Structure 1
Amino acid sequence: MDIKIITVFGITGNQGGSVARSLVKNPTFRVRGITRNVESESSKSLLAAGVEMIQADGFDSDQMKAAFKDTWGVFLNINSDDRIFLNPDGPSEFDMGKGIVDAAADAGVQHIVFSSGPSCTGMTDGKVSMKAMDMKYKTEQYVKSLGIFKSVIPLGPAWFLENFLSKEAAPIFGGFPHFPDESGVLTFSCPYWGGKEDVPWISITDDYGDIVHGAFLDPERWNNHFVHVLSDIRSFPEAMTDFEEATTRKARWVPILPSWEAFETHGIHELQDVKLMFGFTQTTGGKYFGTTTEIDTARKLKKEAAVALGYPEEKQNLVTVKDWFEARFSKEV
């Protein structure tokens, strides 16, 4: 059997961890993870799952080249919220991405799957500038410009359903799904999405890793195809209806008006990009992925990975928002 090494950068994050846990179940792949701390609990958990963990710094080209030794494919996700990028005089996310890509090229990597995004500033004619999205887009363009990889597969992750598991974040969005309002209803409050209100959602746990896994099964087929990584498409009111049907608890969506600019970040750095995300989608008519949202590609990739892993037929489909809520909240009182 020809075993291919896939190295994951950002493996202890939500995206990288999901990818590793899916790929490690496939005997045709060997999964290697790069982390700055091999002693962390996340690293130990991945090691126990069968992932080879290597300590390396994304800014150290020699360490990165060594980590990529004999690697066939790379999954790359850079944490835009890393505090190192807050220093205006320090290195940027693009600087890190370029260094990692150069190291992968020098090491002879053939395929790169990259967590990216569209050009926020470009698509809004400068009206909205989300630094994280622009840096990822700039890195993606650099990867493609090299012209030496057999495939470059950019992808965009949808709104994480797992965000609803955080009780700390819930009050910022009205309390849903943990804290009822004064009328006893679970209220979700945020700006309008824009366009037809086709909000894309992704279950990191159920689908994200399998979708990326599917891309690695035949990477040249998806070369230069920007993959919309999502589990379901539901407007905010529809998602609240799904929650009600899944849990029998009352829920509603209340829009923040008059525009995305009214969204309160409470001085939290990470929420600034959330606010700008609404600015981007309202300005572009809901084109979060840069084009009209589609789910057919994600369905195909999920199915192909599920078949490769021997999942039963009922586990070969993307999870719906309703099923996701039912699995996690239906037993709550």
Structure 2
Amino acid sequence: MAVPTITIFAATGNQGGAVARSLLKNPAFKVRALTRNPNSDASKALAALGAEIQSANGFDIESMKKAVRGSWGVFVNINSDDQAFRNEHGPTEFDMGKTIVDAAAEEGVRHFIFSSATNCTELTGGKVRMKAMDSGYTVKNKIEQYARNIDKFETASFINAAWYLENFLAKEVAPIFGGFPHQVDDEGYLTFAVPKWGGNEDVPFISMSDDFGDLVQGMFLDPQRWNGSVVHGCSDICTFDDLVAAFEKVTGRKSRFRPLPSWEAFDIKGIPELEDPKLMFAFTQATNGRYFGPEPSEKETAALLKQVTSAALGKPEEQRLVSVEDWFRKHFQA
């Protein structure tokens, strides 16, 4: 029996790269990595791990059909901040998503997994709208609904990524979040200054490097079970107070959470990529903290998928999701 090929769109990005690296550990799958630049360092690193590297144009149906031809499964994440979507008269994120979905369907892809998001506009009765109509969280949900209505897939499943823990590694944006966890304030604290989350203040976090890829692999290992599901892609759920307390415990550095008076008070310094994160606070406050949609955030599903993948890879010692404390210990402990 031929080894099934899983094609990953944007395989050198945060999500695509995590999925590719996880799947490349499993000889039960072949990995085809789609990228705009096959000669980039990230592409070469995936090739060294055994991936087939191929370039593809997500706006061109024939290019995408060629890219996914012969694939058993496809994983797709689209970067909403792509410069290609900046031209108001040019193709949109939905145009790209539709092209990819159509290409996969026409080429007989059996199992389709899309990195989606909640419909912020619908869930808040139009009060919160992420970016423009054709970009951001809401358009990802629009692509999800389009994929659900394609009757050519055996299974179509979806995963929503939580707050990337890896964002805390970016020193250049730390001042916008109060300085945490890189720059101390005038009082000597590493202060995390953001709006409140809403509801019980339970915030879902995901470690891209440790868990996200394994969650998607777990979905591919039993696609029928997850058909139609929206998986909460998170490693841990905790409050912002718990987050900074975990950091302080691990590093011994004075840290604190200082909530801003409102989501409007979150100053993103004119950085376009932070517009959606700012509006994310407006969304979660309007939905009582329910970032993933109508249901409360949960990590039990993610824990199960992590266990399934760990078992398939013969690594039962790696079956536990990474906690916020463990993640800080890995990246910040001296």
Q: TM-score range by the shorter chain?
A: over 0.9
- Hey, what's the Cα distance between the residues in 2 that align with 1:148 and 1:261? 44
Deviation at residue 247 of structure 1 after TM alignment: 1.3
Equivalent residue letter for 1:80: S
1:197 to 191, 201, 206: 201
Q: In the alignment, what sits opposite 2:3? A: 3
Q: In the alignment, what sits opposite 1:261? A: 264
The answer to whether structure 1 residue 213 and structure 2 residue 213 are counterparts is no
1:158-307 counterparts in 2 under 5 A?
158-257=162-261, 259-290=262-293, 291-307=295-311
- Hey, what's the Cα distance between the residues in 2 that align with 1:84 and 1:19? 23
Q: In the alignment, what sits opposite 2:59? A: 59
- Hey, what's the Cα distance between the residues in 2 that align with 1:287 and 1:87? 32
2:315 to 311, 317, 326: 311
Runs of 4+ in 1 over 3 A off after TM superposition: none
Equivalent residue letter for 1:267: G
Q: In the alignment, what sits opposite 2:152? A: 148
Q: In the alignment, what sits opposite 1:321? A: 324
- Hey, what's the Cα distance between the residues in 2 that align with 1:328 and 1:36? 30
The answer to whether structure 1 residue 100 and structure 2 residue 103 are counterparts is no
* Matched-pair contact (CA < 8 Å) for 2:108–2:152: no
Q: In the alignment, what sits opposite 2:125? A: 125
Residues 236-270 of structure 1: per-residue CA shift (max 9 Å, x gap): 0000111111111111001111x211111211100
Q: In the alignment, what sits opposite 1:18? A: 18
Deviation at residue 2 of structure 1 after TM alignment: 4.0
- Hey, what's the Cα distance between the residues in 1 that align with 2:119 and 2:170? 29
TM-score, normalisation: structure 1? 0.97
Residues 106-158 of structure 1: per-residue CA shift (max 9 Å, x gap): 11001111100111100011110014111100000000111221111111000
- Hey, what's the Cα distance between the residues in 1 that align with 2:260 and 2:3? 51
- Hey, what's the Cα distance between the residues in 2 that align with 1:12 and 1:329? 25
Sequence identity, in percent?
A: 55
Structure 2 regions of 5+ residues with no counterpart? none
* Matched-pair contact (CA < 8 Å) for 2:4–2:72: yes
- Hey, what's the Cα distance between the residues in 2 that align with 1:146 and 1:164? 38
Greater shift, 156-165 or 303-312, is seen at: 303-312
Deviation at residue 35 of structure 1 after TM alignment: 1.0
TM-score, normalisation: structure 2? 0.97
Equivalent residue letter for 1:67: A
What is the total number of aligned residue pairs between the two structures? 329
- Hey, what's the Cα distance between the residues in 2 that align with 1:44 and 1:254? 42
Deviation at residue 312 of structure 1 after TM alignment: 3.8
Residues 39-86 of structure 1: per-residue CA shift (max 9 Å, x gap): 111111111111111011101111111111110000000010001111
1:77-92 counterparts in 2 under 5 A?
77-92=77-92
Q: Helix, strand or coil: the match of 2:136?
A: helix
Q: CA RMSD in A?
A: 0.9
Q: In the alignment, what sits opposite 1:28? A: 28
The answer to whether structure 1 residue 45 and structure 2 residue 48 are counterparts is no
Equivalent residue letter for 1:274: P
* Matched-pair contact (CA < 8 Å) for 2:218–2:305: yes
- Hey, what's the Cα distance between the residues in 1 that align with 2:222 and 2:304? 12
- Hey, what's the Cα distance between the residues in 1 that align with 2:127 and 2:5? 42
Deviation at residue 170 of structure 1 after TM alignment: 0.6
Q: Helix, strand or coil: the match of 1:168?
A: helix
Q: Helix, strand or coil: the match of 2:225?
A: helix
Deviation at residue 184 of structure 1 after TM alignment: 1.4
Deviation at residue 301 of structure 1 after TM alignment: 0.1
Residues 204-256 of structure 1: per-residue CA shift (max 9 Å, x gap): 01101001110000011001111000000010000011111111111100111
- Hey, what's the Cα distance between the residues in 2 that align with 1:312 and 1:243? 27
Equivalent residue letter for 2:243: A
Equivalent residue letter for 1:152: A
Q: Helix, strand or coil: the match of 1:306?
A: helix
Equivalent residue letter for 1:254: R
Equivalent residue letter for 1:184: G
* Matched-pair contact (CA < 8 Å) for 2:68–2:104: yes
- Hey, what's the Cα distance between the residues in 2 that align with 1:289 and 1:151? 21
Deviation at residue 10 of structure 1 after TM alignment: 1.3
Structure 1 regions of 5+ residues with no counterpart? none
- Hey, what's the Cα distance between the residues in 2 that align with 1:266 and 1:245? 31
Equivalent residue letter for 1:197: E
Q: In the alignment, what sits opposite 2:109? A: 109
